[in-house]
Every structure is written in C-alpha cells, then in structure tokens.
Chain A
Amino acid sequence: MILEFMLGYYFRGATPKVFRKIRESLEPIGWIAIINTFILCTYYSVVLAWVMDYIGLSATVAWKTVEGVGPTFEALLSNSVFVIIGLTITWLISWYTCYAGIASGIEKACNFAIPLLWILSAILVIRGVTLPGSDIGINWLLTPSAQAFSGSAIIDAAGQILFTLSVFGTTMIVYASYLAPRSEIPNSAWITSFANCGYSFFFAFATWGIIGYLMHIMNVATPADLPVPLGGAGLAFVTIPTAVTLLPGAPLTTAVFGTMFFVILWLAGYTSLISIIEPTYAALRDKFGISRKKGVTLISLLAYIISLVYAFRPDLIDPVDFIVGSTNAVWIVLLEAIIAGYFLGLKVLRDYVNPDAEWKLGAWYDVLIKIVTPIILLVVLGWGLITTTHVSPVSILTVIVIIIAATVLTGFKWKEEEKKVM
C-alpha cells in the first residue's frame, strides 16, 4: 500500500506511465495491470447487478419461505433480463460518478457511501451478535483452524487481501497521483489499510453472528453441517437470505435486515467499482490524452457490453476471477515490488516522501520490499499454483487476452511523443 501510494504520488500517473518512467521496456507490465483491472470490472459489475436485484428481492421477501431461497437465486442466474436491468443501473451510476470527476464524482460518492456503510453495518452487527446462538458462529470465526490451511486457501486469501485493499498495481497508484503536493504518504497508507481491515473484522461479526443463529435454529454442530453454502456468491445470496427469513419478527425483519445487508454489499461494491474504472481511464488519459468524459464513457460502455456475456454465462466468472482477481493480483504486486526495489531504487521514493512524513520510512523498508515481500509472494504463488484445481481453458484464454491487449496498447505512440515529433 505504501509503495503504491509512493509510486503514484512521485510519478503522477497511472501504472503504464509509472513503469515506463522507471524503464521504457517495462511499460507492457503496466498495461497488463490495467487490462487486468479492466477485466475485473467487467465481471465484478455483474455480481453488483445481482446485489442490486437482491435489494428489491429482499425488500419484498420474494423467496417467501426458506425453501424458496435457493430457487430464487437460481432463477435470478437464469433470468438474464433481470440481471441486465441491475447491470444497466449499476453501470449508469458508476459511469456518472467517474464522468463527474474526482471532487464532484468519486469524492462525493465516497463521502456519502462510506459513512452510510458504517452506520448500516453497525446496525447489522448489533442485530447479528444479539441473536440467540450468535456466539456459536463467532466462536467459529475467532478460533484458528490448522485444517483450513491449503495452497488454494492461501492464494485466495492473498488475492482477497490485495483485492480488498485495492493493491493490485492500479487503483492506489492512480488515487495517490491525485494527492496534493506535500501530502503525508506512509501514514495515509497505514490509515487506509487499517480502516479497511478494521471494517472487515467488524462486519464479520454480523455475518458470523447470523450464521451462528442459523446453526442454533437448525441445530447443527459445525457450519459445514449447514445445508447452505459458506463461501463465494452462495454465502451472500443463499445463506444470508435463509438466515434473515428465520429471524424473529419475520417477514418484516426479513425485509428490513435483508435489504440492509444487500444495500451494504452494494455500497461496498460500488465504491470498489468506481475505483477500478478510474485507473483504466487514467492510463488512457496518460497515453492518448483522452478527456475524462470521453475516456470514462468509452471504458464504461465497453465494460458494460463485455459484462453482458457474464449476465448470460455466470459460470465464466469463477475461472476468470481465479486469474484476474487472485493470481494476477499477486503476480502484479510481486513485479511491482521488484521493479520499484531493483530498477528504480526505493531510496528515491523514501527521500521524496520522508520530509513530509509523520512516520519516516527507513532502510528497513527497502528490506521489506526487496526481499521479504517477493519471497512471501513467490511462496504464495508457487504453493497456490501447484495445489490449485481452478485452472481451466477459460483461465488460460484470459491470460492470453491480457497479454495481447497489453502488447497492442504498448505499441501505440504516446500523445506527448507525437507532439514532440511534430
């Protein structure tokens, strides 16, 4: 996080520009990071469309009974029209937020969405931990289990933490490039990371309190014995609706807390979606000199069209996500650490940010980025790739598309260079 903040703040641009300024031949890696982020927003928006649809489904308790929860989700996945409506609304809101600009769009959206997210989450956490049996779920959340460790789980966790912190070589670089001169960098990165992880830790009590209640109601000993999924999309779209259907005071409480849960999920996803549209635009702006309005519209339109594929084929999301959201995120951060550590030299960045830093970065930081981070990420990647069973032809095709697109984009001339030639 500190490294991405420093790279954006020092070079004032998106990843291709940053890497090119370090060494011209490194530009394709910057584009790989950008294309990866772009693909991420194409399927991420579909999940957000499901969430948006579920706000309506929860408000009306469309599944009516516990037995209706699973079929409702299956019906949603097979009803592309309903998903396309959610997708269109999600993209229109996200497009307009980025189109309106940094201060008038992204900043305003975050100033509204984040406090609302915390308030609604606090209500849900209080409800979650006061339910009968919530302690059963929270015991499961807080008790470490050696059996849960596996190569695939570790690579998923590494991808998840990088994704949730938006550390995948694009978003934080671009956001930091917008910071005012003489900004405090290391401590800002520190606060950003802990605010995010603190929120995740906090909201886990709502989810696991509710799961504990479900275990209590269904009289099962372990979460694995529950007849509902505990991970991925199933947790949000099947398990939580099942639990809120069984809440005391249903169906009114089902509608209230179910809607609240999906509004929280949508707000969290929406602020993430705009943060992954922005770096793609910033990269095009740097290279082609395209205006914000044109760039954001072009990216949103293209991403919207591609996302329609996932609306019809939701089964494609998992294999693409394994490459884009997990594996590539780790690869890109690994390369970023090596490029900054060995090609640029971290002292340049430290000397640039330290005069205004409340928390100074010493030589220990170089050891962390040049040695510790690459070793950890290589182990995670190696172990994950050896033990994973997720790789499929779709995953391989995704890698090929990313490499081709990055090569093509690198081949275009930079706007500044064209001007110099003329």
Chain B
Amino acid sequence: MPGLSAEAIAMLALGIILFYVVGLGLGIYRAWRASKAKKKL
C-alpha cells in the first residue's frame, strides 16, 4: 500500500502499538509471567 498518507501511517502505527503491543502483548506477557510463577510454586 504505497499510497498511504503520513497521517494514515501514524494512525496505523498507533493502532498496532495500542492493540497489539500495549494491549495483547502486555496481557500475554503478564499471563506468561503468572503461569511461570505458578509452576515455581
């Protein structure tokens, strides 16, 4: 998609960071850390 405007690219980056990095990524990391801690117990 070479025709994306700078504003659209910025919103795309914001969406990826918000939904997948901060959102899902952090949630899955927390879940992984919790399961690791449970295994140690």
Query: Could you list which residues of chain A lie within 8 angstroms of chain B, going by C-beta atoms?
Result: 129, 134-136, 138-139, 141-144, 184, 187, 190-191, 193-195, 197-198, 201, 358-359
Q: How many angstroms from the CA of A394 to the CA of B24 in the assembled complex?
A: 41
Query: Could you list which residues of chain B lie within 8 angstroms of chain A, going by C-beta atoms?
Result: 1-5, 7-9, 11-12, 15, 19-20, 23-24, 26-28, 30-31, 33-34
Residues of B within 8 A of A187 (CB): 27, 30-31, 34
Q: How many A-B residue pairs have C-beta atoms within 8 angstroms? Tell me.
A: 62
Interface of B is mostly: helix
Q: Would you call A135 and B3 a contact (CB within 8 A)?
A: yes
Residue in B8, B24, B27, B31 whose beta carbon sits within 8 Å of that of A143 in the complex: B8
Closest chain A residue, CB of each to CB of B1: A135
Q: How many angstroms from the CA of A191 to the CA of B34 in the assembled complex?
A: 14
- 7 pairs, CB–CB < 8 Å, chain A vs chain B: A134-B1, A139-B4, A142-B7, A190-B27, A190-B30, A194-B24, A198-B19
B31 to chain A, nearest CB (A): 6
Q: Would you call B8 and A139 a contact (CB within 8 A)?
A: yes
Residue in A129, A135, A136, A142 whose beta carbon sits within 8 Å of that of B11 in the complex: A142
Q: Would you call B3 and A136 a contact (CB within 8 A)?
A: yes
In the complex with contacts A136-B3, A187-B30, A187-B31, A142-B8 CB distance below 8 A: yes
Residue in B3, B20, B26, B28 whose beta carbon sits within 8 Å of that of A139 in the complex: B3
Q: How many angstroms from the CA of A359 to the CA of B27 in the assembled complex?
A: 9
Q: How many angstroms from the CA of A191 to the CA of B25 in the assembled complex?
A: 9
Closest chain B residue, CB of each to CB of A189: B27
Closest chain B residue, CB of each to CB of A359: B30
Residues of B within 8 A of A138 (CB): 1, 4, 8
B36 to chain A, nearest CB (A): 10
Closest chain B residue, CB of each to CB of A187: B30
Q: How many angstroms from the CA of A193 to the CA of B22 in the assembled complex?
A: 12
Residues of A within 8 A of B26 (CB): 190
Residues of A within 8 A of B4 (CB): 135, 138-139, 142
In the complex with contacts A136-B3, A144-B11, A201-B19, A184-B31 CB distance below 8 A: yes
B18 to chain A, nearest CB (A): 8
In the complex with contacts A184-B31, A358-B33, A359-B30, A143-B5 CB distance below 8 A: yes
Q: How many angstroms from the CA of A135 to the CA of B6 in the assembled complex?
A: 12
Residues of A within 8 A of B30 (CB): 187, 190, 358-359
B37 to chain A, nearest CB (A): 8
